[in-house]
Amino acid sequence: MCAGNEQMRQHMSDTKLNTQQSVGDRLLELNRSQSSISSWSMLFAFLCQVVPVLYLMDQFHSSVSFYGDGYIHLRTVEASNQTLLHVRFRTSSQVGLLFLAAGRRDFLLLELISGRLQVRLDLGSGEHSLRSEKGIHLSDLAWHSMELTHDYHNVTMTVDRNSHTRLRMPGPDLELSVEDGLFVGRAAGLNNPHLLNISTWV
């Protein structure tokens, strides 16, 4: 068993959903917002490089847990020119897909590349990317946080609350349209040509 795995399982048992609830209905709550801003929040762990534990947290602080090499695909259709993504994760893997919001043309992708976070974003005017700062090691099995804000032209990624990288998206397309849903862990069954080269957990 990996170091920290037992503590993780104990935490999961403390926050386990009522088994009488519909997991599908509960997951759908992740996308509901009181404003026009698309807001997604999640907490997950990838240990021993093979994804044994995964959480998705909603605004009520309950969780859905997954073991093994599974993934999440949340079917949703959204369009917004303001997006907020908040992630807490820990992993020993140097490369892999954390999150994908997929559209027929647009997408927002968060991945690990050589232990650094990379965001790839296409709002319809071409793909642009930004990476976390060099020297910040994110594959050390410690908990890390990432917040991504997309506000019209401006995109900001904040890692562990104190490292900021920014990107300015060109116009005229500023709206992120999501028709194919949200993916965590891997994008199984997604055949969009512009997303065929995305990474998965190994």
Give 73-94 pLDDT, tens digit per residue: 888 888 889 888 988 887 888 8
Q: What is the 3 state secondary structure string of the chain?
A: CCCCHHHHHHHHHHCECCCCCCHHHHHHHHHCCCCCCEEEEEEEEECCCCCCEEEEECCCCCEEEECCCCCEEECCCEEECEEEEEEEEEECCCCEEEEEEECCCCEEEEEEECCEEEEEEECCCCEEEEECCCCCCCCCCCCEEEEEEEECCEEEEEECCCEEEEEECCCCCCCEEECCEEEECCCCCCCCHHHCCCCCCC
Domains and CATH numbers, the chain: 5-195 (2.60.120.200)
Residue 31 pLDDT level (bands cut at 50, 70, 90): very low
Residue 4 pLDDT level (bands cut at 50, 70, 90): very low
